[in-house]
A and B are shown apart, each in its own frame.
Chain A
Amino acid sequence: MHEKTIRELSEGLKSKAFSSLELTESFLQRIDRLDPSINAFITVTPERALEAAKAADVALSGGTAGPLTGIPIAQKDIFCTEGVRSSCGSKMLDQFISPYNATVVDRLNAAGTVMLGKLNMDEFAMGSSNETSFYGPVKNPWNLETVPGGSSGGSAAAIAARLVPGATGTDTGGSIRQPAAFCGITGIKPTYGLVSRWGMIAFASSLDQAGPMAKTAEDCAWLLEAMAGFDPKDSTSIERPKEIYSQGLDKSLQGLRIGLPKEFFGEGLDPDIHQAIQTAIGEIEKLGATVKAISLPHMHLSGPAYYVVAPAECSSNLARLDGVRYGYRAENPKDLKDLYMRSRGEGFGAEVKRRILIGTYALSAGYYDAYYLKAQKIRRLISDDFKKAFEEVDVIMGPTSPSVAFQFGEKSQDPIAMYLSDIYTIAVNLAGLPGMSVPVGFSKGLPIGMQLIGNYFSEHRLLNVAHRYQGVTDWHQQSPKL
């Protein structure tokens, strides 16, 4: 049952092949059995899940069920969930029970999904390996010695290990796409503003975007349909007609123009990955697409720009975690300064502190113009590069990450090496474009992801391309032996 896609599970529920309660119990048992070795979940919520499954079964019998009614999912622990710990992977919020739901949570609940629990992640989504979580690293189900990627590593690993058929993730610089690639699953980061950020604990507000992760593009389409849409509670949410992502996925790729940026295939790219991408693109060409070499000339500046903008915003976003109103508070503070310094010093992990320091420095008087303002200018240049490219092509393709999943500890002592793991993904966040990762092969037994980048609000097209590709390949159906 756990190998089935969301679409298949939905059909099974509709045809009464199994109930949501049975489905939920089966996944909960699998979590019980396998998660101790993977550590994908921070919190499992069996009582709530069984309750929701029973309600879903009532809806299924009563004919009021939607396509996602009764489908088990899990939420990245960055989303606030009413009455449930919402830790964001940090000691700082280890005891934080949210009094309200994120819009994404509300929408997936309203669609009838059954939440099994909250998924592990890098602390405050800062990391590319899931090693910064207060709750310990998540293991990559394909090889327990390697990282699952990050920051949505718990989501990717849980899906790869078949602990849950679908999950939410968030992506600030590649945090959906890179773990999806490392774990051999499918994930999409939508256009900035498509999915509400209300209740999603902020890392870098101008870059953060939530999206679905699942085995297939079709499942992602189903989940995105429920998640997306204007939210008056988020001023950066965009008001536009709702799209039906689940339909039209079979549309022909005849005439699709693919752009291959030369900057994505240069030095530092694993040759196995290069090869797998070429092969995948060959498959898509066979479906009617044409390929064109393009250039994104400011690509090399995306890393420096990202590592100014994201830390700057996070240094301010995380200021509210001061030990005063909620969250971790140091014991017996002797005065206000001591309360601040020890609560934050003891509550935050090393990577979070590093980024707060970088961001604070970048925003300081006298440095603002040289760093923050310059980074914003680079952002504009990068957006313009993409804009120009999309005059000639429909979808840009390339690797999601320069390597496959690496060993624990391999990069955690070298922040720069770690940051390079997101070298192909961060430009997409800086420009606010939608990006996807789909499995396209293996290297040394570890999955390889291909990145698809589209123009603003072209999620439907990206999902269509990925779906057609998955119709002629079976990489997405592979699952690790556990």
Chain B
Amino acid sequence: MQWETVIGLEIHAQLATKSKIFSGAATLYGAEPNTQACAIDLGLPGVLPVLNQEAVKMAVKFGLAIGAEVSPRSVFARKNYFYPDLPKGYQISQFDLPVVSTGETTIVVDGEEKVIGITRAHLEEDAGKSLHEDFEGHTGIDLNRAGTPLLEIVSEPDMRSAKEAVAYMKKLHALVRYLEICDGNMQEGSFRCDANVSIRPKGQEKFGTRAEIKNLNSFRFVEKAINYEVLRQIEILENGGTIVQETRLYDANKDETRSMRSKEEANDYRYFPDPDLLPLEIDANFIESVRTQLPELPDQKKLRFKAQYSLNDYDAEVLTATRELASYFEQVALLSGSDPKLCANWVMGDLAAALNKAGLEIEESPVDPQRLAGLIQRIADDTISGKIAKHVFEGLWASLESADAIIDREGLRQITDTGAIEAIIDAIIAENPAQVEGYRSGKDKLFGFFVGQAMKATEGKANPAQLNELLKKKLS
């Protein structure tokens, strides 16, 4: 039987506010346990939450960026369950009236565009962490994370493969970083997702029973966990079994998902409106003021890059993946005044490779746009060849010198004097009569030999185009 996979994602993006969603405690990652938890985060008797306006602003930003509806009135609700790292015995979240509803985003997979619906996005607080190691059989509780603002973004079940799910997650990852509402750090858990996965016979309209895979914190895990889960479900159904609705965990070490709890064991969260918080009312003026602060979004930027810089779809896509990369490229293009395609090749090629090797982000690049632009200018005006440029780039990476300084110091300027190149060619022809004979009798491949000899004699500095032309003339 042909099976179709159906996937919906619930993404949790930690909002990049300075303080928590309902208290004034700091949200910085990595502090000593329980040093960033105030009376409110600890859930002491008598404490009350006060909503952080910045978190609301970030949620509105996101809503506007996905063309969604920002609710003029939304409600915070309590999700009640007991867990040691949930200090109040309930999580403040939003239930039937979320702040953002009905938006969408477009992904590209294998060159095909696809629109993914976003059902809703709501604000909620994160829980603390239970630490099961280092406590001699006991469990430690760290409440630093308790009360950190989260935006939970729920998609429609619109994805049909792990690849699409990853593309969607990457799309939103780029988006929240563009909007500067989330640092996107997946290792620290700032951006993570739950995947709802089901399968159905191809052509069937009714959805199959789904399993929810919890807490996936890398693109790779999302892909692997979904692929494993789909195979697991196919195997069950093809052996005449039925899928149980349940929550599953992905074990990256074993590359498998395993059952955490079934629907029957699921909590009844007893949601009800939090009486400590008034309904969240957002007026049109607030929305408009947030709208004016929106940056150019990835899709818009990509279109502009294609038009303004005559880049192809792939280049525009790669260069707009993050705001920082796009900005770097634009500075290089502007400062060099050279062919944008040449700039794109350098940013996406040698620079990206070097950064990747060194494990650095674009904003940490040792070569700033100014110096890379200086190098590209020298390629464009034929001062150096592309090959020499790679050598100069290494110099830029290792020092603070400009491309010109390196070229001058190392005498790397191309030889463009026709007379000088001719003299060198004449000497090579004189020294290699056999090869000249061979070439002239039809062994075209020998042409490379002459190029190599000439480059060797000029230490690679002969202008390649000029050299080719003169060689052809002399050998004919």
Identify the A interface with B (CB < 8 A): 79-80, 86, 88, 93, 96, 98-100, 102, 197-202, 204-206, 232-236, 312-313, 315-316, 318-322, 324-326, 336, 340, 360, 363-365, 368, 372
Task: Contact check, A316 vs B268: say whether CB atoms are below 8 A apart.
Answer: no
Kindly identify which residue among B42, B45, B78 contacts A80, using a CB–CB cutoff of 8 Å: B45
From 62 to 94 in chain B, residues with beta carbon under 8 angstroms from any chain A beta carbon are: 78, 80, 82, 84, 87-90
Q: Which of B277-323 contact A (CB under 8 A)?
A: 277-278
Cα A322 to Cα B90 in complex, Å, equals 12
Chain A residues within 8 Å of B87, by CB:
320, 324-325
Query: Which chain A residues border B50 with CB–CB below 8 Å?
Result: 232-235
Residues of B20-40 at the interface with A, using a CB-CB cut-off of 8 Å, are 39
Contact check, A322 vs B46: say whether CB atoms are below 8 A apart. no
- 4 new A-B contacts, CB < 8 A, other than A79-B46, A235-B49, A316-B78, are A96-B45, A199-B46, A319-B80, A322-B82
Q: How far is the CA of A326 from the CA of B34 in the complex (A)?
A: 14
CA distance A360 to B78 in the complex (A): 13
Does B361 interact with chain A (Cβ within 8 Å)? no
Residue of A nearest to B143 (CB): A325
22 interchain pairs (CB within 8 A)?
A80-B45, A86-B46, A98-B44, A98-B46, A99-B44, A100-B39, A199-B46, A201-B45, A202-B46, A206-B275, A232-B50, A235-B49, A235-B278, A236-B48, A320-B45, A322-B89, A324-B84, A336-B84, A340-B82, A363-B80, A365-B270, A372-B272
Chain B residue nearest in CB terms to A339: B84
> Across the interface, do B90 and A86 meet the contact criterion of CB distance under 8 Å?
no
Q: How large is the interface on B (under 10, 10 to 19, 20 to 34, 35 or more residues)?
A: 20 to 34
Measured CA separation A368–B96 after assembly (Å):
13
Q: Flag if B45 contacts A363 (CB, 8 Å).
A: no
Q: How far is the CB of A164 from chain B (nearest CB, A)?
A: 22
CA A86 – CA B44 in complex, angstroms? 11
| Interface assignment of B141: CB less than 8 Å from any CB of chain A | yes
Roughly how many angstroms separate A372 CA and B272 CA in the complex, as a whole number? 8
Say what secondary structure dominates the interface of chain A. loop
Residue of A79, A102, A320 touching B88 (CB-CB under 8 A): A320
B363 within 8 A of A: no
Partner pick for A235 among B48, B84, B272, CB 8 A cutoff: B48
In-complex Cβ contact of B46 among A200, A312, A319, A360 (8 A): A200
Partner of A316, one of B46, B49, B141, B272: B272
The one of A199, A232, A336, A363 that contacts B272, using a Cβ cutoff of 8 Å: A363
Q: Is the Cβ of B84 less than 8 Å from the Cβ of A360?
A: no
Give the A-B contact count at a CB cut-off of 8 A: 99
**Contact: A364 with B270, CB < 8 Å?**
yes
Residues of B whose CB lies within 8 Å of any CB of A are 39, 42-51, 78, 80, 82, 84, 87-90, 141, 268, 270-272, 275-278
A235 x B45 contact (CB < 8 A): no
Chain A residues in 8 Å Cβ range of B90? 316, 319
Chain B residues with Cβ below 8 Å from A313 are: 275
User: From A337, which residue of chain B is reached at the shortest CB distance?
Assistant: B82
User: Nearest Cβ distance between residue A292 and chain B, in whole angstroms?
Assistant: 34
Say whether B46 contacts A235, CB under 8 Å. no
On chain B, the residues within 8 Å of A318 by CB distance are 89
User: In the assembled complex, how far is the CB of residue B153 from the closest CB belonging to chain A, in whole angstroms?
Assistant: 25
The answer to whether B272 touches A233, judged by C-beta atoms less than 8 angstroms apart, is: no
Q: In whole angstroms, how far apart are the Cα atoms of A96 and B43 in the complex?
A: 13
**Complex-state Cα separation, A235 to B273, whole angstroms:** 14
Nearest A residue to B81 via CB reads A319
B137, chain A: closest CB distance, angstroms:
11
Interface pair A326/B44, CB less than 8 Å apart: yes
Min Cβ gap A295→B in Å is 29
A368 touches B39 (CB 8 A): no
Most A-side CB within 10 Å, residue of B42, B46, B141, B275: B46
